[in-house]
Structure formats: structure tokens, C-alpha cells
A and B are shown apart, each in its own frame.
Chain A
């Protein structure tokens, strides 16, 4: 499902070259789940956006579902995102002018789905926000915004879902709810999960666990995947 080959990313600043990611390699099968942990600033968010095709790497390749991202043009990548990829940003990136419901409806509308509103409402209900549909993002708490962002990511029924610290802003209970939701999706729909997290229980729930350290990715030693 997800194949990454010698992926690097660096940035040229006026003073120096900043290597964010160096030589990342891994394979992920369809339906697998994967957790990436690492210190803040180690490059997790950068890696995730490269994987999802939101940014282009300095070198190396990313393949999703047998399709190399680099070979696609912007149009093709958009189509891929629309149909196969879901993304939850660390900073949510909800559209401030739109209500929670409208935000969740957006991916559905992009696909011209008929009953977008109904589906969106259902999703909001699932993340426990059915009462806050009409509220704008900044009227919601961080956790609530995170759940809206999740609902939005689910809305497109993605084959692979990238989530950047999806439980980072949540309390114990709602965190667990979200995790449950994620794996439900993983199980029911066979969605591949790529999660960035600090949450050890979440990391353990994943089939595979990688650690990112100063831009270098390594699979964690203890490999006793707990399947849920």
C-alpha cells in the first residue's frame, strides 16, 4: 500500500542547509497500521505531509497503492487525495469561515456525493459533536476541533489515513474514543493508518511502530503487535 524509498527532505536557508529527513525507507501493507513517534522537531509532521503528497521530497520516492506520487502531476495527486487519502493535521486546518458541519461536508462535496449533509451529520455524531454542528471552529475547544478534523478525514472514506497527533489535544476518555474510532475504521473498511503520536497506548495498538530521531527513521525493536 505504502512504499517509501530513500526519502529525504532538506531546506536551504540563507545561512545553511537544514536536513529534516534523511534516507527514509519502509513498506506498509494495505490494512496495516503504523505509528510514528519521536521528539518534537524530529520531522514527523514533515514526513507525514511528504507521504500524503502535500509536499514534494528533495529526493526519493513515495508510492501509494502502487502509484508513485512523483509521477503524478498536481491534478493526479489531488485526485488521489480526494479518493484515497485522509489527513488530520496537527493544527487541524479547519476553515474558520465554515461551520463544523460545512467543514466535514467539504470532502464529500468535492466528490459530489449526493447525501453529503446526512453523512457529515452521522460522522459528527460518531465523534460526539452532533450538538455543535453549526459552530465555527474557533468557537470550539482544541479537542472539539480535533474531532471535527477527524470527522472530516473520515468523510472521504480514505484507503489510507494520515493523522498527526490525533489524540494530542484530548483527555483520556475522548482520546480513547478516537482511537477506537480509528481502529474501527481500520478493521471495517480496511483503512491503512499512519499515525504520529506521543500516546504510548496508541502506538502499541498499531501493528508497526517506528521511531523518528533527527530525521532518521527506525522500526522499534519490540515487535509484539497487539491487534485489537
Chain B
């Protein structure tokens, strides 16, 4: 045992020095290097996205409740050493100089916000701060405008340095209005709560006596990890809390309720998962190709060792030790390199991946390092074991004889004849999938991807074989290619196929990442063009509609128009009570327990009065409730019931800032019911005063301001876009490295042959020509297959994951064909260049198999 170990180490040293292991070692370093650096980057970007979301929310976890929560909940949070802050939100009247205004009062504890920026403007300078001090009140811009506070302070400012803060009455106490709220984290929770807001310190609340038993108050509790708590604490607390929630209490974290941000970040997250899978696959290719080649070489050596009396068990043990040593060394160097690259990128791009407070210090993540190590070791060992397992089957001499057949049989013989090898390949593949799931932390996308990918890969392998045969046939018939090249191709059909499979795999991965990245970024850029609506107006009455439209027009405010809205509750599906009709899993769905916003299509008029109203329903809702085209839906609107047939299932882009509806009727039915109108428009920050005029003219309407959130979203998306770009570039780089190493490796087995051919008098021109033809065929075939593979995978991904529209990408086809030709022919010719520059004799001794 120990002897064997030392023997293995001796062999390892020897082979390492002789350079036999260098390709395998290099591939391991590249594979684990890209795996870990991409992993670190992804983790970092992920953290960054979460951190931005937390800053938006003001904390990592938010509990909203319509009643005060039991004290022991908060004690529990204490015991987890979490940071806490509180906010109580309720509507109340503010009084200034006998002027009454309704406001939404936010009473916050001293340490609000836990995360993110509470930005307040005081005397013309804005600053970032915590909760207002006792006795002070901060008003949002609109309230400040209403009370003319800004102007007053402005005038006073110009008159004297002394500023007299206006006094504002709230309930039974008076507050000094000292600041104007510019940005308040946690806004998102009050997305649809309406009146302009004012903020006071929570400890002043009792004095105002505005909150009486029975008052409508929202209690909002913020929780974040503290310096002393572990990152797991918050999760534990969340789990603990989740089961205790009652009606009227919601728990959220990240960007759960911000659909626009959520959808974008979700996509970004999916992209990162995809990037991770591709990196794993690329790494696997690098390791597989090189360990295959190494196995081939070792095979012969081991056969000789068997003949020399070394037992098979011992040989396998020696190999294992050797590979383990190689794996550890390679992974260690790869991961270290990956970490250094990642750190280098961070230092260059710290602005980009700026995490803000709290986790800014964490630079190292364990997961990518572990995945790198285990992936490297596992793939190296399992793939090499698949080769080693062949040792068992033949007598020592048979082994030596068969040793050279091995290469040819890789695709056919070894896979089918060698049962244990087959099992090991299968194990490797399953292991790869599990590793990918670990790495991506996204089971769905991983499984989906591997499923689509392996199916199409098998089909395409057969395709490649078929096409190659056709090329050979046509080439012979019409003398398209030089005869020798043709023969060369024919003889090395399997080797060529192995190359084509490898290269097309790599290319398709690169195409996928390129296309998804490009379309994702385009998508985002289109999503928030300049003048994206940043204000919503609801509760516009029908009689006000004309005036409202006129007002917008006169004030040159850009709008998307007005949409009718009727509140109604979904009560039946195909004449069955809805609760019974939907799948069990959907019974708790919100849409069944509250009124939905229904709209109707002003342009779509039914042909005949008798016909049933038509309904267009949002896709994800339809999916959850299992509603299909042709289903009859019943709604209760007020006290009456209406019905309609589902004729359209619609994709709603929740990540656009547009009024969206789950259900849209054809016109002619719901107009008769009490209805209000909803609109959205764009207003620049300096024009916000117009909101007050608008409110004065239409006192009944409610304005929802999303401009701050929109800015935040745009900011996040810009960051994320940059990060995606970076990871994309990095993967491309890794891909090119791996492509070159595979080319090097697959060509290395054929160098000897080329040397022999040279001794027979093949001129360099001849040899060049026929290698060139081979490379061209490999390049074009790889490109062709890669394109089909990628288009198919992308089709599935867009449908299932990214919810983007799919269309073919002919420009990319052309591009990849050109790139493939350039890279494979170019690199290939560089790799084989040795054959042309060295003397034949030295080639022969160098490449003797």
C-alpha cells in the first residue's frame, strides 16, 4: 500500500517532468480556474444584486402586519442577534397655518433604515441619515410643495442665514418641519398606498395620540443580519417566522414584491445560472478531452506494466494516486489563479460590483472553490477511470495489441463493448449534472438545459456522421476535394467526429451565452427608454376622463393613454365554483381571494350582441389556475355576475412600467359597471409641482409615484448589465482557451502520423493542404452543428426560462461560421506547424507513440 503510494509519486514526478502530464495539467488549471473565477464573480454579482434590493427595501427581511406582532417574535430576532427597525404607517391629517392635508405618516425607530439610504434635503443640501430626531418631521416633496415649505425656506434663506422651520401639527403635538424626504427605503412596500408621506420618530408617536385602538395602522418590521450574527441566522429566523404568520401578515425579502425589478433580476439570475452551467460544461470538455488522451497513452504503459508483473489492482491504485496528486495540484493552482483573476477584476471594477454596506468586506466565497476542486477531481478521476476499467478485460498481451485500436474505438467500440466504462461515463454525467446544480443553485434551469442539450447532442452526433459521409461521397464524385484529403478524412472519420463533437459543443455554448446576453441587454435597454412612465394615476372617474386627458395634453405630459378598470372577483370556471375548479395547489392563490382589476379592450368590439364576451387572460395566472382557451369564466362585479370565454392567453411584461391587467374583456359588457380609469405618465423631477395642480383639479384621483423606484431599477439594471457583460467576456475567454487546448490535444495524437507521412515524401505543401482541408471540414461542420444545437437550446430557454421572444439568428450563423473557420483553421495550422519546421527524424523520435 505505502510502497504503491511512493511508486505512484515517483511515476508522477517522472511523468510530470517529461511533460506527459502537461496538457492534462493545463486543462485542469484552465477548467478549475474558469470555474472558480466565474463562480466567484457570479456569487459577488448575486450578492450585489441582493444588496441593492436590500437597500431598496431598507433591510434584508421585512415583516408587514396589520396588528402589532407578539413581543416574543422580536425577542426571537434578538436571540438570533439580528438588527431590527420598525415603522408604523397610518393616514392622518397634517395642519399648517390652518391648512389641512391628508398624509401618510411614517413613524420610524431611531435606527431606520437598517440598509440603504434615507436621503433628506435640509436647507438646500441633501444628506444621508437615519430616522428624524425627536420633535422633527420630514415631508416628502409633494407635501413640502403643498405647504409651500420649500419656497418659504428658500426665501428665508436668501434673506438671512437663520432659517425658521415651519411648525406642523400632527394630532396633539407639533413638529418642526426640518427636511424634505428625497429617498426613503422600503417605499416598495407602499407601492399602492397613496397619500404623500411624512416621517417622524417613532418615540414621538404616543404624544400625537393619533393612533387609537381600532385605528388602521400598518406595522412594518425590518430585520437584517448584524455584524455578530451569521449569515444563516436570518434564514433561520425567516423559517421560524414563516409558519407563525397569520392573515394580514406578509414576509418578504429581496425584490419579491417589485415585479419590474424582480423580473429583471430574475432574468439576470437565470443568466448567471446559465453562465455557470456553461462554465461547468466547458471545464468538463477540457478535462474530458485531455484525460481521454492521457488515458490512451497510459493504456499502453499500463499494459506493459501488467506484462512486467504488476497486478491490475496495483496499477489502478498507482493511477489513482497519480491522478489524485495531479488533480490536487491542478485544482489548487487553478483555483488560486481563478481567485487572483477575480480579485484583479474586482479591483478594476469595484465601482461595478460595489456591494455597499454590510457585506462589503466579504471577498471570498467557499462554494466556487469547492465546486472547482470537486469538479476538477471528480471529472479527472471518473473519466480516467473509465479508461482504466478497460484493463480488466483483456490479457496483458492482448492489451498491448489492442492499445492502438483504442483510439479508433473510442466512439464506438469502447462505449458499447466496455460495460463498466459505460457505467462510469454515466456516473460522470450524472455527477456533472449534480455539480452543476450545486454550482448554479438553480435546479430547474440546470435540468432543463441538460435535457435539451443532451437530446440534441445525440441527434446531432448522428447528423454529423451522416453529413460527413455525404461530404465524402460528394467530394469523391465531383472531385471537390483533393483525393488525399478525402482519404485522410475518411480514415480519421472517428477522430474527426470527436473533434467536431467537441468543437461544436464549445461553439454552441459560446453562441448561447452570446445570444442570451445580447438579447437580455437589448431587452433591458428597450424596457426603460427615456421617458418611461414614472407616475401612475388611478381612480379617475369616467366623467373626469376628458378633462384629465385635456389637462395632460395642455401641460405636455407624455402618457400612454387611459385604461378602464372595473373591480371584480373571479368566482367560477366552466360553471363550477372557482375554488373547486382550480388545482389544489392553486387554492391559496391571491387572485381567488381578492378583487381583480378587470379591463376591456376599447378597440375590440364584438360582432353580435348575443355572442359571449371574450376574455384575454395573463399567461402565468392562466397556468397556475389551469385555465385554457375556450374556458368559461364567471366574475362578480358589485352584486352582479358576468361571464366571458377565454380566447387569448397573453404574456404580460411585468417588468415594464405600464398599467397591466390580469384579465381584459372584449368591449361591450363591463362598460355598464362602475368603472374608473387608470393612466401612467412621465414627469421629470423638476415638474413634480404639476402633481399638486393635478391633485387640486382632480381631487378624487390617486397618484402613485414610482420615479424613485424606477431610477433605482435602472441603476440596478445598469450594474447587472455590466456584470453580465463581464462574465460573458470571461466565459468567451475561457472558451477560446479550452478550444485551443482541445485542438492541441486532439491533434497531438496525430502528430506522429504526420511525421511518418513526411518521411514518405509528402511535401509540406501537400501535408498543409490536406490538413487544411480537414480543418475546414471540421470547422464548417462544427459551426453547422453548433448553430443548430444553440438555436434549439435557446428556443427552449427563451420559452421556459427567460420569457423572451424567440426568432432565428442568421447573422450569428454567418458570424460563427467565419469565426469557426478562422479559429480552427488558424489555430489548427499553428498547432501542426511543428511538423513543417522540424527535421523529420526529430519529429519521429518526439512523437513515437
The residue in chain A whose Cβ has the minimal distance to the Cβ of B400 is A138
Known: A54-B841, A96-B404. 16 other contacts (CB 8 A): A55-B839, A55-B840, A55-B842, A75-B764, A78-B764, A79-B761, A85-B761, A95-B753, A96-B849, A97-B407, A106-B757, A106-B760, A109-B483, A110-B760, A136-B404, A139-B405
Cα–Cα, bound, A83→B840 (Å): 17
A-B CB contact pairs (8 Å), 24 listed: A49-B841, A54-B844, A56-B839, A74-B764, A78-B758, A82-B760, A82-B763, A95-B753, A96-B404, A97-B492, A97-B495, A98-B491, A102-B491, A107-B761, A109-B484, A110-B761, A110-B766, A112-B483, A138-B400, A138-B403, A138-B404, A138-B405, A156-B760, A156-B761
Q: B840 near A138 (CB under 8 angstroms)?
A: no
Count class of interface residues, chain A: 35 or more
Contact of A97 among B404, B483, B840, B848 (CB under 8 A): B404
Cα–Cα, bound, A74→B838 (Å): 9
Q: B760 near A112 (CB under 8 angstroms)?
A: no
* B residues 821-849 in Cβ contact with A at 8 Å: 836, 839-842, 844, 848-849
Cα–Cα, bound, A139→B399 (Å): 11
Binary contact track B728-763/A, C-beta < 8 Å → 1, others 0: 000000000000000000000000110011111111
Closest Cβ of chain B to A152, distance in Å, is 7
B688 part of interface (Cβ distance < 8 Å): no
Cα–Cα, bound, A138→B765 (Å): 30
Cα–Cα, bound, A22→B54 (Å): 83
Q: Please give, as numbers and ranges, the residues of chain B lying within 8 Å of A95 by CB-CB distance.
A: 752-753, 756-757
B708 part of interface (Cβ distance < 8 Å): no
A209 part of interface (Cβ distance < 8 Å): no
Q: A152 near B763 (CB under 8 angstroms)?
A: no
| Contact flag A110-B762 (CB < 8 Å), given A96-B849, A97-B492, A138-B404 | yes
Cα–Cα, bound, A141→B288 (Å): 33
B417 part of interface (Cβ distance < 8 Å): no
B487 part of interface (Cβ distance < 8 Å): yes
Q: A110 near B840 (CB under 8 angstroms)?
A: no
Q: B763 near A78 (CB under 8 angstroms)?
A: yes
B618 part of interface (Cβ distance < 8 Å): no
* A residues 134-163 in Cβ contact with B at 8 Å: 136-139, 152, 156
B408 part of interface (Cβ distance < 8 Å): yes
Q: Please give, as numbers and ranges, the residues of chain B lying within 8 Å of A75 by CB-CB distance.
A: 763-765
Q: Please give, as numbers and ranges, the residues of chain B lying within 8 Å of A53 by CB-CB distance.
A: 840
The residue in chain B whose Cβ has the minimal distance to the Cβ of A82 is B761
Interface residues of B, Cβ cutoff 8 Å to A:
400-405, 407-408, 483-484, 487, 491-492, 495, 752-753, 756-766, 836, 839-842, 844, 848-849
A183 part of interface (Cβ distance < 8 Å): no
Closest Cβ of chain B to A91, distance in Å, is 8
The residue in chain B whose Cβ has the minimal distance to the Cβ of A108 is B760
Closest Cβ of chain A to B752, distance in Å, is 8
Interface residues of A, Cβ cutoff 8 Å to B:
49, 53-56, 74-75, 78-83, 85, 87, 89, 91, 93-98, 102, 106-107, 109-110, 112, 136-139, 152, 156
Closest Cβ of chain B to A130, distance in Å, is 21
Cα–Cα, bound, A199→B753 (Å): 30
Q: Please give, as numbers and ranges, the residues of chain B lying within 8 Å of A137 by CB-CB distance.
A: 404
| Contact flag A97-B484 (CB < 8 Å), given A55-B842, A139-B401 | no
Q: Please give, as numbers and ranges, the residues of chain A lying within 8 Å of B403 by CB-CB distance.
A: 138
Contact of A93 among B495, B756, B765 (CB under 8 A): B756
Cα–Cα, bound, A79→B763 (Å): 6
Cα–Cα, bound, A183→B683 (Å): 102
Cα–Cα, bound, A112→B401 (Å): 32
The residue in chain B whose Cβ has the minimal distance to the Cβ of A140 is B401
Considering residues A56, A83, A97, which has the most beta carbons from chain B within 10 angstroms of its beta carbon?
A: A97
Q: B761 near A83 (CB under 8 angstroms)?
A: yes
The residue in chain B whose Cβ has the minimal distance to the Cβ of A84 is B761
Closest Cβ of chain A to B771, distance in Å, is 14
Q: B405 near A81 (CB under 8 angstroms)?
A: no
Q: Please give, as numbers and ranges, the residues of chain B lying within 8 Å of A87 by CB-CB distance.
A: 759-760
Q: Please give, as numbers and ranges, the residues of chain A lying within 8 Å of B840 by CB-CB distance.
A: 49, 53-55
Cα–Cα, bound, A110→B848 (Å): 22
Cα–Cα, bound, A79→B761 (Å): 6
Closest Cβ of chain B to A151, distance in Å, is 12
Q: Please give, as numbers and ranges, the residues of chain A lying within 8 Å of B487 by CB-CB distance.
A: 109
Cα–Cα, bound, A61→B275 (Å): 61
Cα–Cα, bound, A95→B758 (Å): 12
Closest Cβ of chain B to A118, distance in Å, is 15
Cα–Cα, bound, A132→B681 (Å): 85
Q: Please give, as numbers and ranges, the residues of chain A lying within 8 Å of B764 by CB-CB distance.
A: 74-75, 78
Q: Please give, as numbers and ranges, the residues of chain A lying within 8 Å of B491 by CB-CB distance.
A: 97-98, 102
Contact of B753 among A89, A97, A139 (CB under 8 A): A97
Closest Cβ of chain A to B707, distance in Å, is 70
Q: A136 near B405 (CB under 8 angstroms)?
A: yes
Closest Cβ of chain B to A135, distance in Å, is 10
Q: Please give, as numbers and ranges, the residues of chain B lying within 8 Å of A80 by CB-CB distance.
A: 761
Q: B762 near A82 (CB under 8 angstroms)?
A: yes
Closest 10 pairs between A and B when the two form their complex, measured CB to CB: A82-B761, A81-B761, A55-B841, A96-B404, A78-B763, A54-B840, A138-B404, A54-B841, A107-B760, A95-B753
